[in-house]
A and B are shown apart, each in its own frame.
Chain A
Amino acid sequence: MKNKHINRREFLCNSGKTLAGAVVASSGAVSLVFPTTGWSAQLAVLNEHESKTLLRMTREMFPHDKIEDKFYAVVVEALDADAKASAESATQLKEGIANLDKLAKGDWQALAADKRGTVLKQIDTTAFFNQIKSKCVTGIYNNKDLWDHFGYEGSSAEHGGYINRGFDDLDWLPNPPESDSPKAH
């Protein structure tokens, strides 16, 4: 079963107030803080505005309403780690965000949702966009903490596979005849 319970964080997220609470700047250092989940990370390179922009961007690029901001923040943390490891990567991120704001004629995040999408469309072939996209593909869908949400069960060998755990439990279509699909031995 999918684990899609509604909690306070999700309520905040859906009400659009989450971002302010997720990125915390204090004496120059920026942290991603999610008190309800006990998860936080201190960023090395990205500033508060950049972090918030990336958090918003990752969600808009791969929108899953029921997934908490924390999981998108994990991607932002990974992007920050890339920026720390590579000056080229840092420049691409910072310039990409500046360009996004320039196209938005101000703070891209402050635009209405449809306008944000229009601006994103303008940059969706850039190396900056691709950098974030690649990080999301692994950061979101290869995050084991999210597999339950998507209904993916991961490794099965240690559970004896699915031979006795529903490899053929689909019951909303007729079963094929044994000539086409013999019984398991």
Chain B
Amino acid sequence: MKDNSAVVIIGSGAGGGTLANELCQKGIKVILLEAGKHHTIADFVNDEWPSFSQLAWLDKRTTSGDWRVAKDFPNLPAWICKTVGGTTTHWAGASLRIQDHEFRAETHYGNIDDANLIDWPLTLKDLEPYYAKAEDKMGVTRTNGIPGLPGNNNFKVMHAGAKKLGYKEVHTGRMAINSRPRKGRAACQQLGFCFQGCKTGAKWSTLYTEIPAAEATGNIELRSESHVLQVKHDADGKVSGILYSDKDGNQHLQKARIVCVAGNSIESPRLLLNSASSMYPDGLANSSGQVGRNYMRHTTGSVYATFEKPVKMYRGTTMAGIIADENIHDTSRGFAGGYELETLSLGLPFMAAFLDPGASGKKFSDALEDYDHMAGMWIVGEDMPQEKNRVTLHATEKDQHGQPVPNVHFDDHKNDIAMRNHAYKQGTMVYEAAGAKTVWETPPYPSTHNLGTNRMSTKTADGVCNGFGQTHDIKNLFISDGSQFTTGAAENPTLTIVTLAIRQADYIAEQMGKKNI
């Protein structure tokens, strides 16, 4: 496929991998480029540090801002992946629909100081049929007649505390992890290593679902270890192809009819900025100046607690447990938007690194001494888009390809802080109700939910792309990952990324059919 007939997709994760398969199923030729290696399930290891080396995106990045990640992990703003399948190898599987009011954040939350809030250019109603397709494709529990997962020890602690506190909606979640065999994938064996690549394939990942399905059509060419350096355009300003570096560092030009960018919310804006030309001096699709801005990462944090008796939280599905009651918009709590509390555990090696980064001393050692008596939960809440929170190109630092590395700037909004503090308090009360000895409020980890840096907007001045991810400036350039999110909402984003990719595929096919692109 050396001519310009193919759709070139950059990134093989939830957005890119799904879009590739959806287009291939319609008979459209696709070239899928992935910067990382093509690992298989057999390569995955149940061992945190070696797995991290195997799957994580470790190219140099820098950080700034008041978030603690910039101090504790200055070169690791995000814990996301560089491998075929992208971060769907690492994700925990939680699959929740964004709520109607969250799609209309400006309308519902009003004018919040220093927040760059707008409504999405689409509604829940627009997405409902596509959410249904995504849930079926991914096999989300508690949808399509699929039973919920059985709760593990960590969930038992959460459930007991939450019920004592009066929470109503507490269950093992809507998870894209098979509770029984389905569509050629096994049932969950409760390994406890969801983050390290699922060894049974029970967890949905594009690596072993969408990508092989696309390959079976004969319409795809997957090029792994191919790092895209620039998106190229022609004299008319339409994109015409991409320049990429293969595993040996040789550069290639690949022509394209359409280019879809799905490299996650740090790499996607970086690529558009690195593609600046004389026609587009501020980078591609950036007439609004919004490329790289409004970076969101969810208002996260964790609560860990130790108990008199053993918990062994690390056994079983990591995130199959949710308290959903706080995921409402109720400003009497002192903030706009909502959050979920979801079970979470880390193995001992990562617990030592993340429980209280930079800590030492007896209190810290004592907590780890109680590791097998510990329960844990993660806070996932909506954070406010802010223009100043952004991905920019570093002025001096270059990566292995000689390109400027991305800097990720993030300052908490006061709404984020108020929400996090509320969630810490509620999480603490849950564990105290279950009999906790000590409780730890753990700061946010490097981000896995990276959103918003090429956002959708109705007005071209407010964002980068329209409701189909098509950029306002260049009609054959699309955004196909979480960077198109207009606001963060409170839900783990993968289900919505997949949903948008399915819908985008329909739109691209329709527009190609009409010869509009």
Contacts and interface: CB of A to CB of B under 8 A. Distances in A.
Interface of A: 2, 61-64, 124, 130, 133, 136-138, 140-142, 147, 150-157, 160-163, 165-170, 172-176, 179-185
A181 B191 contact: no
A150 B311 contact: no
Q: Which of A133, A156, A181 has the most CB of B within 10 A?
A: A181
A173 B352 contact: no
Contacts of A169: 153, 312
B147 A174 contact: no
Nearest to B154: A170
A125 B333 CA distance: 37
A162 B362 contact: no
A55 B91 CA distance: 39
Nearest to A169: B153
Q: B interface, how many residues as a size bin?
A: 35 or more
Contacts of B364: 62
A128 B311 CA distance: 36
A155 B46 contact: yes
B47 A170 contact: no
A151 B148 CA distance: 28
A162 B156 contact: no
Given A169-B153, A172-B309, A181 B193 contact: no
A166 B372 CA distance: 13
Contacts of A152: 314, 347-348, 371-372
Given A63-B362, A152-B314, A172-B309, 9 more contacts: A63-B365, A137-B353, A138-B49, A142-B349, A162-B191, A168-B150, A170-B156, A176-B160, A183-B150
B122 interface: no
Contacts of A183: 150
Nearest to B169: A180
**Interface on chain A toward B: helix, strand, loop, or mixed SS?**
loop
8 contacts: A151-B373, A155-B193, A156-B315, A161-B191, A167-B152, A169-B312, A170-B309, A176-B156
Interface of B: 44-49, 147-153, 155-157, 159-160, 170-172, 179-180, 187-193, 199-200, 309-312, 314-317, 347-349, 351-353, 358, 360-362, 364-365, 368-369, 371-373, 434
Contacts of A147: 348
A150 B365 CA distance: 11
B152 A124 contact: no
A167 B316 CA distance: 5
Contact of A179 (B150, B171, B347, B372): B171
Contacts of A162: 152, 189-192, 315-316
Contact of A185 (B187, B315, B362): B187
A173 B316 contact: no
Given A62-B360, A156-B191, A182-B172, A170 B311 contact: yes
B433 to A, nearest CB: 11
Nearest to A151: B372
A56 B389 CA distance: 44
Contact of A180 (B172, B352, B373): B172
A39 B77 CA distance: 39
Contacts of B47: 154-155
Contact of B348 (A150, A176, A181): A150
Given A63-B365, A133-B360, A173-B157, A141 B191 contact: no
A157 B191 contact: yes
A161 B198 CA distance: 11
B160 A173 contact: yes
Given A167-B315, A170-B311, A182 B147 contact: yes
A150 B369 contact: yes
Contacts of B155: 176, 181
B278 to A, nearest CB: 44
Nearest to B360: A61
